[in-house]
Amino acid sequence: MDISTILGLLLGVIFLIWGILESGTLGAYYDFASIVIVLGGTFASTLVSVPMKDFLKVVKVIRKAFVYKEVHLDEVIEEIINLANIARKEGLLALEEYAEELQDDFLHKGIMLIVDGTDPELVRNILETELIFLEERHSDGQGIFESMAAYAPAFGMIGTLIGLINMLRTIDDTSSIGPNMSVALVTTFYGSVLANVVFQPLAQKLKSRSKSEILVKELMLEGLLSIQAGENPRIIEEKLKTFVPPEARRNYRESLREREYNE
């Protein structure tokens, strides 16, 4: 469970409610027709702009923003070094048995390509193509929320225009101008809140998740090609540590020393 996503959304709602209560009441910001216009219009336009199969995956995409198992780079490096040591001592064919226990499909696929004696350049091409399509699948999910973030304010403005037209029809009744204007503006409020508190932040979170996952896969790819080339495990380790941010490398060295001490 990703605490930052939940905490961010909760804080956004709390601050909005606090700001409203400081100078007004929550009841003044509720209008069912405005909710229908903004939410209904946003979902309708998003459905028009993306294929149905992608739109139906929106719940699964939302789940990725809230539920995410972080993969630590140091753990991946340790796994690659373990594979390198096995290959160095027992040969590349020995990796096949080890690969069956791996849960990561990308790493498993790479090992099987190496075991089958696939040309290194072809291994790189196959795995890089896999990364390209993985990134495209991720961008499809991000695109749904980016579309919603773009449509929500637009339908908020449409709702405001509808409210203003209705207000002008009864402009002779001066007592109705204030309430009608309030209802007209609250639709814009809904659109802006949904876009900037929900949809756009979720799109950015998914983009961040995608970058992290792609980085891990690129590290695996580099490690697998180094194993296939027969490089020394220590050289491979130093090469893979370049994927780790400088401040995290100290933590990596400390955790490595701790594991060696426990062993």
Confirm if 106 and 220 have CB atoms less than 8 A apart: yes
Confirm if 114 and 168 have CB atoms less than 8 A apart: no
Domain presence at residue 78: no
Domain that holds residue 208: 31-71+126-262
Digitized pLDDT (tens) for each residue of the chain, 263 residues in all: 678 888 888 999 999 999 888 888 888 888 888 899 999 999 999 999 888 888 888 878 888 778 777 777 888 888 899 889 988 888 888 888 888 888 888 999 999 999 888 899 999 999 999 999 988 888 888 889 999 999 999 999 998 988 888 787 777 776 667 677 777 889 999 999 999 999 999 999 989 888 888 989 999 999 999 999 988 888 888 888 888 776 655 555 555 555 554 54
Q: Which of 236, 223, 251, 208 is nearest to 74 (CA)?
A: 251
Domain presence at residue 53: yes
Domain presence at residue 49: yes
Domain presence at residue 160: yes
Q: How many CB atoms lie within 10 A of CB 19?
A: 10
Domain presence at residue 218: yes
Q: Residue 228 CA to chain centroid, in angstroms?
A: 32
| Number of independent structural domains in the chain | 1
Domain presence at residue 65: yes
Domain presence at residue 7: no
